[in-house]
Chain A
Amino acid sequence: DAGVIQSPRHEVTEMGQEVTLRCKPISGHNSLFWYRQTMMRGLELLIYFNNNVPIDDSGMPEDRFSAKMPNASFSTLKIQPSEPRDSAVYFCASSLKGSGGGPNEQYFGPGTRLTVT
């Protein structure tokens, strides 16, 4: 079975440019997460969707960041305009939130390494 798919795997862009990261969650999963990983701050949750609806975006750094999930099989994370401090690895993860509501394991994609110069 295919895991979480992310594209592109690497992105190098200049400051001020728009960046769009893409994610396809595992089929059948109903929860999707965007994380950012840096050496200084580790893994940080940016936003969480459940059944395509954003539930918690408190981790989104600022208005330059936005995320959408138009359907159950696709999500985007957009940075506009990008800045050098946005350089990081961005991970998408998905999980199946059970009817009992308890937490379950999250499956991560391979990540997108973003470099903003």
Chain B
Amino acid sequence: GENVGLHLPTLSVQEGDNSIINCAYSNSASDYFIWYKQESGKGPQFIIDIRSNMDKRQGQRVTVLLNKTVKHLSLQIAATQPGDSAVYFCAENRGSGGSNYKLTFGKGTLLTVNP
């Protein structure tokens, strides 16, 4: 079946390094993507989103890249800090018309930042 999947289930980086978290999606009709951060014991926290008419979007220390040709999404975190340690989920909106509210979440990547 179609899934939003992550290439790397775990990622360990040194404080100050840049982090790249990858996500593959299989539905070419998906037109909206979100990255969420989930810290232990908390709910997912919105980080950044991107619509399919864009290939790059930047936020504070984060950049999301969308490659529709290969159906790939990535989240780049600059100067990673210990507070960035969490599970990161990508989510895609597959629905159209009346079901365009639905987000399908990937299984997540655990990012660990070593001091």
Contacts and interface: CB of A to CB of B under 8 A. Distances in A.
Interface of A: 4, 31, 33, 42-43, 45, 48, 50, 55-56, 91, 93, 95, 97, 101-103, 105-111
Nearest to B47: A105
B49 A105 contact: yes
Contact of A107 (B46, B101, B102, B105): B46
Interface string B33-59: 010100001111110010100000000
Contacts of B44: 43, 91, 108
27 contacts: A33-B101, A42-B108, A43-B44, A45-B103, A48-B101, A55-B98, A55-B101, A56-B99, A91-B43, A91-B44, A95-B101, A97-B101, A102-B32, A102-B51, A103-B32, A103-B95, A103-B103, A105-B34, A105-B46, A106-B103, A108-B43, A108-B45, A110-B41, A110-B42, A110-B43, A111-B42, A111-B43
B107 interface: yes
B105 A42 contact: yes
A114 to B, nearest CB: 14
Contacts of B106: 42
Interface of B: 32, 34, 36, 41-46, 49, 51, 89, 93, 95, 98-103, 105-108
Contacts of B103: 45, 103, 106
A72 to B, nearest CB: 17
Contacts, number: 52
Contacts of B43: 4, 91, 93, 108-111
Contacts of B49: 105
A95 B32 CA distance: 15
Contacts of B107: 42
A109 B38 CA distance: 11
A56 B97 CA distance: 13
A108 B32 CA distance: 18
